Chain A
Amino acid sequence: MSDNPNPVIYVDNENCKSFEDNENSFNSSRYSIEEDQIDEFDEQEIFDLVRSITDPEHPLTLEQLNVVRIENVNINLENSYILLYFTPTVPHCSMANLIGLSIKEKLARSLPKRFKVDVIVTPGSHSSESSVNKQLNDKERVSAALDTSSSILTIVNECIKQN
């Protein structure tokens, strides 16, 4: 049985989609038109990458569950460093590792290699915060978990999959 069966839902699904797939998005100010103009990476862009990841046990996105918030995304362009805090829905959430892993993997697939990405539990939001953080940022553990033969990979792919 899941840890938090009836989570509070924060934003409407419709709104989320319409923002993503808005037809005018190409013309919107976030996408420059001039051939030489450079769009730098920013928090919004990182947030757009992780907002649509789904929770392993609910058909809801991390944005809807308030697990990720744009305020908790930090980006340092000079050092190519990204720090992202995520907030499990309940302090004893056993899925925290999996959620963190999904976020990490999605970012690894979507960002250029020059970025160093740290994914960390928002301080004070989880009972075993340090162990989750340790697991998530241990390269060997992560690569073992995401081995092709691993069943975790299937779950992570399921979470990352965009509808």
Chain B
Amino acid sequence: MTSNITELNKWIEGYVNPQSEESVKTNAINMVLLYMKSNKIDLQDVVQGLGDYLKSNDSILRARGTLLLSEVLCRLPDLPLNQDQVHFLAMFYCDRLQDYACSSEVVKGITGLITNHTPDYPDNQKLLRNIFSEVHPTSLTQAHRKMVLQVIDIMFNKCLSEIQELKNDFMVGYLQFIDNEKDPRNLIFSFKLLPKVIYNIPEHKHFLESLFEIISCYFPISFNPKGNDPNSITKDDLSNSLLNCFSCTPLLAEHSIPFLIDKICSNLIETKIEALQTLVYCCDRYGGFAVQPFLEEIWSTLRTLILTHKNTTVIEESKKTIFYLTRSFTKERKVLESFLSIMIKECLHHIKSSQDSKIAIYCASILYQSVSASLLSSKIILIHIFPNLFNFLSELQKQDTVQKVNEQNSVIALFNDLLKANSIAFEMYSNENKEPNPLEPFVDQLFKLFSDLLLLNSSSSIRSNSIECLSNLYISKKVHTTEQDDDDSEQITNEFLLDLEKRQFIIKSLVSLLNSSDNTLRHKSLDSLFTIASNEDPSVLNLYVIPTLLQMINHSSCNINTTNNKINNNNNNNNIVIKNNKCQDEHCNEDHSNKNENNNNSNENSNGNSTSGSDDDLKHYLEAFTKLCTHQPLLESVIPQIQVLLQHNIKETYQSNEDFEKSILILQSISFILEKSTNIKSMTICSKSILFPLIKGLYKQELISSSNDNNNNNNNNSNRFNQILTPTLKMIHSIFENISIESQKPLLEKLIKLFLNGDTLVINYQLPTTTTTIIKPFEKSSPYKYLIPIFTTIISQSKLDLSENNELKQSLYQMSLDVNVDDSIAISCSKAYSSIINKQQQQQQQDQINFNFFNDNLLKVINDTTTPLPLKIRHLDLFTWCTKALLTNGNSINIKLGSCLADIISNENVELSYHASKSFGILLSETDVLNEKSGSIIKILFEQKFFTLMFPILLESFKVSKNKELQTISSHYLIAISNLLKHVPKEILLAELNEILPIVMQSLKSSDNNDQVQLLDSSLQTLTMLINETPSSFISYLDSLIPSLIKISTKSTKYNLKRSALEILTLLSKSIPFVNLFPYKTQVVTDIIPCLDDKKRIVRREAQKCRNSWYILQK
């Protein structure tokens, strides 16, 4: 025992002595703690051992002694102490607080004591009182200041009532401690503590002003954490906890709201935005009554911002603020009413009297925000605004001058905004209590107003605005209905505000506008019809809209000037017809308005032929039908009609080319409808009712076109068949892709029989007696090969594993290598084959698919010098697709296949090499096969894996060929690399950037003689892509990049290269920070001047864009 004491004294000596080395001190304190922990010595021994030091006259020794005691208390949480000892220690520390030299050690000790033990009443009080009175916050270090705050926090948790007795004294002391704090670590703690203080100490009321003074100086928080900060305090943490301080009591409102309004008026945009957000949060927390005295001030500040500020973010944020404020005031009706009444009064005044359209528009947007904020606000505003607007509009109509059209329009637009805002409010907030729609009292008046405007007004813009109003009125509902599942078809509780008669009236008026010659009106009414269709029950639409549309489609003829070879045009251009129409229409319109006298010419220019009115009609109706049918529930009910349409339009003989053109348009529309649909239910119906008749129709067609072999018509017929095939294949694709595996299975069985065995009866097709042979498209000499894509489309989308069917596989394999068929057929077979390989079950894969199979069958042919090129390319295509299949499902040989593909690039045959490099684009791109929808096996992150393995191989080959001065081949490798890069996720791209960039930059320097055009072109393309992805990575390369680009744009002989280089320069000016660009501004602006006078207009256009963009670099 005594020996322990002696050792203890030795350690105490070692620790306290300021001359001891750091390690000795550490060791000493650790030994003391260990001995205490193992009960060899107790606290009393330590205190006795310390005795002299604690009383020493040397302040350093005294402080060291106190520190030892404090360390013991802090680091031994389980130290057994009885209440007397705790009291003794508390009193000791109370006393010691007066000793200035030891204050931080004492604070540490108190923290330990309070954390691990619980002193009795009134020791806590005493401790705290003494801390407040004796310790000066500035004399403590950051850590110790924080400890004081921690002590307060712990005391709140352990002995709240005791602290509360301190009353005002607590507040004074506390304020003194949080004042002037600058360290973020303490601030964040202090901010978190403050709400607790406010909550627990009622006397805070007397100190609000100084309290606010202390916290307000931190707003807005500007803080840039260092990257290596171990506390990882962020600006957001600080801001959020400060926000909590601001909003913790409504009593702060009188200080904080004027303060925030002042900050909102600040010049800094960031401050404005933050102050606005803080205002919203605080007002919400304070509640309406606390804010009421400031309503007018808040409103006028926000209004000024919205009406006069230039920055759109500020305006948007102010609008949002109005929205949120209105919403939070809804809890207090009176507050809301007074807030809104100020707003309504002023907005109405502006709308009626303002000469400035901008102000009226902003007022409208303010009203929009507050109407959409809540049902109650909507009600209050509508009651006040609508009667006024009605009167105002009728006044305007009386004046009826052309000048007033714009004003009338803006009033109608305001009506429309309010209708929209109201439905937002109604949808969101009327769930619980069945409040009526605030619109209800005005429905009839509104309906009359808009329908009169639509029917009687002459201005097209007013009419189109009233169309929108009508459709918004249409979909306004009486009571709120939550959205329900599609299965629940029974629910038709859609009670609209308008009765059926009025709704039918709207629908009829809209349908009658669908072939309007006015594009805006037509588009508007179509959009509105679609909005209505998405909200209305399909049966209502089937009453009028759909039958009318179908009737119009069937009856409008298709007049096309046959001398123009539009058939070929269409064939090359696989665009969807609807999109085409739009462009053409807009072209026409543009031309009409600009050059009326050149009407005919311009029409011919943009369309390639002159179109007559009825053709447009058909297109318009088809467009409408297509758009409406993208609404799934409606589509479901229209499937029978679609089937009839299909039957009517795939027919054996077409009366004329016009007739045929019309059919193609209709087929394209239907394919568009089906493509847009991903609904299993409607597609299953389609697969039952549409699929087989469709295939049958195609069979008939093909039979006709191939039976006329010797006829002159032959060419025309097969051309027709191909045109029909394109949209129908899309239909088949969409149908088959979306149905379940169970529905696919029986269909597949039948179709395999049909295509491989020629069993036409499965599609109910009795071959005409004139045909003697059985139709087997896969037979070598079969004339019916054009049917193959139908089959391959289906096979590619099959979710079933078909790999057991060897006959099927063999047929596809053979056909995909057949050089006598069209490319498209061969590739479709490759796709189908690859998708079968992809879906093979793992077990079989091991057995059947091995590298040798590909090596022996495909690679051997490709590498054989005697094989003719077309055959090689067929093999290469199949090989590429198989690689993609195995790549997608993560087969282990994929990288081996990939490197074989890379080897082919170095083949001496330029064409083959180029083809192989292009193939890399296929490998990782998204295609219509081998995707999730088609039931393929997709290994997670396969793109990443493949890229990381493949990229170094290509890179190496590129470097090797470059060193050997094989320009063509190296450019092909670069093409392969950029094709690969296109489809790789950004993260990976960034990781490899250091490798990629130098190559691209280097190849930019190459000249553009014939060998290197492709290299340069592909480098420029890669560059565009990379800059789009990661503009910041280029900052360090600007000094070499910009001169190279300028050189290409001025010196190149190929205008396409010039154009791309200029495009990249423009891109740079928009995506790289001003500071980095500025040094190059003069250089670019002066050096590209020659391009402004280029002989090519496209180059001039890009040069002009580029130069203007560099002139006005964005700061």
Contact = CB atoms under 8 A, between A and B. Distances in A.
A2 B587 CA distance: 34
Interface in A39-63: 39, 41, 45, 48-49, 58
B1094 to A, nearest CB: 9
A15 interface: yes
A58 to B, nearest CB: 8
A128 interface: no
Given A5-B356, A11-B593, A109 B1111 contact: yes
A29 interface: yes
B841 interface: no
B1089 A39 contact: no
B590 A15 contact: yes
A70 interface: yes
Interface residues of B, number: 39
A163 to B, nearest CB: 11
Interface string B741-754: 00000000000000
B774 to A, nearest CB: 46
A101 B386 CA distance: 44
Given A5-B355, A12-B520, A18-B586, A157 B407 contact: no
B1097 A30 contact: yes
Given A1-B356, A5-B356, A110 B1107 contact: yes
B1093 interface: yes
Contacts of A11: 590, 593
Interface string A5-35: 1111111101110110010101001111001
Contacts of B948: none
A126 interface: no
Contacts of A110: 1092, 1104, 1107-1108
Interface stretch (A81-89, A92-100, A111-119, A131-139): A111-119
A39 B1096 contact: yes
A15 B1092 contact: no
A58 B361 CA distance: 12
Interface string B208-225: 000000000000000000
A32 B583 contact: no
Nearest to A45: B1097
Nearest to A154: B1112
B251 interface: no
A112 B407 contact: no
Contact of A160 (B354, B1054, B1089, B1112): B1112
B1114 to A, nearest CB: 9
Contacts of A112: 1089, 1092-1093
Contacts of A113: 1089
Contacts of A2: 356
What is the interface of chain A mostly: helix, strand, loop, or mixed? loop
Interface string B1050-1073: 000111000000000000000000
B445 interface: no
A6 B357 contact: yes
B234 to A, nearest CB: 34
Given A110-B1092, A111-B1092, A35 B1055 contact: yes
B1111 A31 contact: no
A160 B1096 CA distance: 24
B1093 A15 contact: no
Interface in B1064-1115: 1089, 1092-1093, 1095-1098, 1100-1101, 1104-1105, 1107-1109, 1111-1112
B597 to A, nearest CB: 10
Contact of A157 (B1055, B1093, B1111): B1111
A53 to B, nearest CB: 11
B605 interface: yes
Max count, chain B CB within 10 A of own CB: residue among A6, A26, A30, A70: A6
A152 B1096 CA distance: 34
A31 B1108 contact: no
Contact of B594 (A9, A39, A45, A70): A70
A45 B1092 CA distance: 12
B589 interface: yes
B865 interface: no
A162 interface: yes
A18 B589 CA distance: 11
Interface string B351-391: 00011111000000000000000000000000000000000
Contacts of A160: 1108, 1111-1112
Contacts of B1054: 35
Interface in B900-920: none
A161 interface: yes
B406 interface: yes
B23 interface: no
B590 A19 contact: yes
B458 interface: no
Given A18-B586, A109-B1108, A157-B1112, A39 B357 contact: no
A8 B1095 contact: no
B1108 A39 contact: no
B1097 A162 contact: no
B231 interface: no
A5 B357 contact: yes
A15 B590 CA distance: 7
Given A15-B590, A110-B1107, A6 B1096 contact: no
A6 B1108 contact: no
A11 B402 CA distance: 17
A3 B594 CA distance: 27
Nearest to A4: B355
Interface in A115-163: 157, 160-162
Nearest to A48: B1101
A15 B586 contact: yes
A162 B1108 contact: yes
Given A6-B355, A6-B406, A11-B593, A109 B1107 contact: yes
Nearest to B405: A8
B482 to A, nearest CB: 36
A69 B1096 CA distance: 24
A160 B41 CA distance: 85
Given A5-B355, A6-B403, A113-B1089, A161 B1096 contact: no
B1055 A22 contact: no
B356 A19 contact: no
Nearest to A24: B583
A31 B1097 contact: yes
A8 to B, nearest CB: 7
Max count, chain B CB within 10 A of own CB: residue among A5, A29, A58: A5
Given A35-B1055, A113-B1089, A157-B1111, A18 B1095 contact: no
Interface string B990-1022: 000000000000000000000000000000000
Contact of B406 (A8, A37, A161): A8
Contact of B1095 (A24, A39, A70): A39
Given A11-B593, A26-B1098, A157-B1112, A114 B1093 contact: yes
A9 B405 CA distance: 11
Contacts of B358: 5, 58
B356 to A, nearest CB: 4
Given A106-B1108, A110-B1107, A112-B1092, A39 B1097 contact: yes
A111 B1089 CA distance: 8
Contacts of A15: 586, 589-590, 593
Interface of B: 354-358, 402-403, 405-407, 520, 583, 586-587, 589-590, 593-595, 605, 1053-1055, 1089, 1092-1093, 1095-1098, 1100-1101, 1104-1105, 1107-1109, 1111-1112
Given A10-B593, A30-B1097, A39-B1095, 12 more contacts: A6-B406, A15-B590, A16-B590, A31-B1097, A38-B1095, A41-B1100, A109-B1104, A110-B1092, A110-B1107, A111-B1092, A113-B1089, A157-B1111
| Top 6 A-B residue pairs of the complex, sorted by shortest distance between their CB atoms | A112-B1093, A39-B1097, A110-B1104, A5-B355, A38-B1095, A5-B356
10 contacts: A1-B355, A2-B356, A14-B586, A22-B583, A32-B1096, A48-B1101, A70-B594, A160-B1112, A161-B1112, A162-B1108
